[in-house]
Structure 1
């Protein structure tokens, strides 16, 4: 029998365990920190003219997804199933009936809901990297809440919600979010790439990262927050959480080494961008598998992701889709690698009974993992493509050529990240610092 991940523990009245609660409080803060970390990671990878816009797309996702989650998202994702494993009920709209005395497992239900909210936030923010430099900010403000409700919420219910079809009926495993976070964001990013088309100068201009120290700092914050992301998903301060935390560290390390090995062999130069990207690739892949594989399995999963994703990021040039910051190459591909390898490396000691191919479990689990991957990727891509096309028709999703050429920071936000002579010498920093001849009317 395939065991559900701890995240799918049923809503039940119980006794609050202070140790579990303290750990989940810390883990929730760690996961929330991942979104500012992602903002720095992405912000360093774009050109100077769109740094602030990149940061804003992540930070505004915190506010937008929080509102959506508290109003309806949590209820639809983690409420009692009402649609044959496809969606939760409406019993907790506006967090109704979830007071401080409500308990889920051994932690307060409100804390569990907040922990899950931080997952939804960072998943929406991840998509922004695929379409960096060319999205109208006003359209992004509409896209994020719609996407969260129509894509993230249903998939979260499939994987972790009571009665969700992937965990309950299919019997696939996903400990901390390979399906609803990594694969859903990567497939959605690919869909938006096709809706919006490539950036001006794609495959002609270099478009190099403008600040690699910022990229490294962002990657470090992501790695730090990932301990809460994965180990927090155990929902208990116990040995499983410790094993998951160690698996997370190990996979991030081998992902980094795998990517650098490919760079050295292929290009002759191991790079800081490669190190940051490789670590993230390993962390992406271990996210679904961290609670299912042994330490040796985690090392193998991370290494495989680092190697495979280092090649996958170049597919955009071959297939002519402009995945600006490699969301498809790292998050979609890394999520697929990690989710599928559960079927190979899963050990009964970690899962409580289910074994992968190398432990004699046969091909059954690998097949179930493949079905889950295909279903989530297809759903996320199809629905996101539809949302993107509709918003493009109604609002205009892509920034104008003038905005893209000048840079979204100045044309949308009337700000610049760096002083390149736009501000006068000695001028006070603020909205009035732009000389009247240089002021640009912001356009969302």
Structure 2
């Protein structure tokens, strides 16, 4: 088999993401599936290089501009410079001189021999002065566009820079133990028997952080459905639900199914869980994942969360994990931060209101509506919570401090919990940014 040029593969991926506007996580996943024969080292290099260039794009472009004096650059040359500078600044396995040589080879491979001198010269200059490069502007230092940076600043308080820093850190994969199939203790042993490093989450002891493996989808506990990939943040939904006398649940924006699994794992096996999303493709993903997990009480269905459907009436729990700007998961999907504009925030907040207004009608008396997002934007979180309570006077916010272990309450903001919502801040809580509010319908 002809050896794959891993740097050429990185370049192709970056062109798809930055020029063709494909999503980085999809490009990375598709490439790793197509080139599954790559060594563990090459797969790791590819993932880190592509993800890292996207994460640091703003900073990398600032450096290029400083050394190129603002001259125009062909898109392919810009990507070669970005990936090379990233390697010199943030990857230490390959010597700088080799990085520069490989960059020149990529230029030749792209049949642009007239630009080899330019690429060689600018990279050598940056290499010789890289220890002197400083970033006075926080937007450049943390490679965060100003509008998104301001939203993070307004919503993270004392943990503003810690959150920006957290987004740029390399993080282990987090998995949740399917406790209906196995215990946390047994899963830890099974993982350690495969020489996988394991650490238990401080927020939720059902969540394990794992590292040291090769391919995540080949880990035995993942293949068998004893555990599934999810962040500690979203898993906190399972800690906030009441479990007594729950017979019917509706998860209105469910794909790929993780929140439905949280419900199924905690509730009795005869509880019906309608796991809904808007397309065949999304519902098929839920079906496939539910089958792996072994949850037979999950009922995948196509349904538009904006349109009322009588079959969902009299639900004990309605789970509305709604479309949002995704600021809380920028650490996993860094291209989010470059795509967001003010119109996005307004339209998403409006969509959430529309869905909440609709699905509130499904909740029975004494039932509960759980509203969650993976963003840090107050307009999509606290403001929509207040909007809902003002419009739907038959609902009240639930004091969440009464549903969490005292140890966890002490780690979070107790005053927020008492008001009915839980807000997770990446720089404080060592997880994705996340928002959960719980509303209980009055029994009158």
TM-score tier by shorter-chain length is under 0.3
Q: Which gives a bigger RCO, structure 1 or 2 (Cα 8 Å, sep 6+)?
A: 1
Over alpha carbons, which structure has the higher Rg?
A: 2
| TM-score (structure 1 length as normaliser) | 0.26
Q: Which has the higher helix share?
A: 1
| TM-score (structure 2 length as normaliser) | 0.26
Q: Which has the higher strand share?
A: 2
